[in-house]
Amino acid sequence: MCWMVALLAEDGMQYVYRVYAPGDALRGDLFWAAFHCHDESSRPRACDLFDSAQIWALAVDGSVI
């Protein structure tokens, strides 16, 4: 299943990451997967508060679940 995770960063931008995980994945695990992907890039630091992230699932055809 494909999950989208949006993280706020210090530059005021919102960065969105695609995370592939099972449908029963914990939201915290999805958040940390996206956060670590962002943290390894050269982009400004992302907010590490779980509640600041937006997480949603995508269906196989790309529609929002």
Q: What is the per-residue pLDDT across 29-40, written as a single tens digit (0 to 9) for each? A: 999 999 888 767
Q: Find out whether 7 and 18 touch, Cβ atoms under 8 Å.
A: no
Residue 35: count other Cβ atoms within 10 Å of its Cβ: 19
User: Comparing C-alpha atoms, which of 42, 41, 38, 65 is closest to residue 53?
Assistant: 38
Q: What is the pTM of this model?
A: 0.81
pLDDT tens digits, residue range 4-18?
999 998 889 999 999
- Whole-number Å distance between alpha carbons of 35 and 53: 10
The share of the chain scoring above pLDDT 90, in percent, equals: 52
User: Given a cut of 90, is residue 51 above it in pLDDT?
Assistant: no
The share of the chain scoring above pLDDT 70, in percent, equals: 89
- pLDDT of res. 15: 92
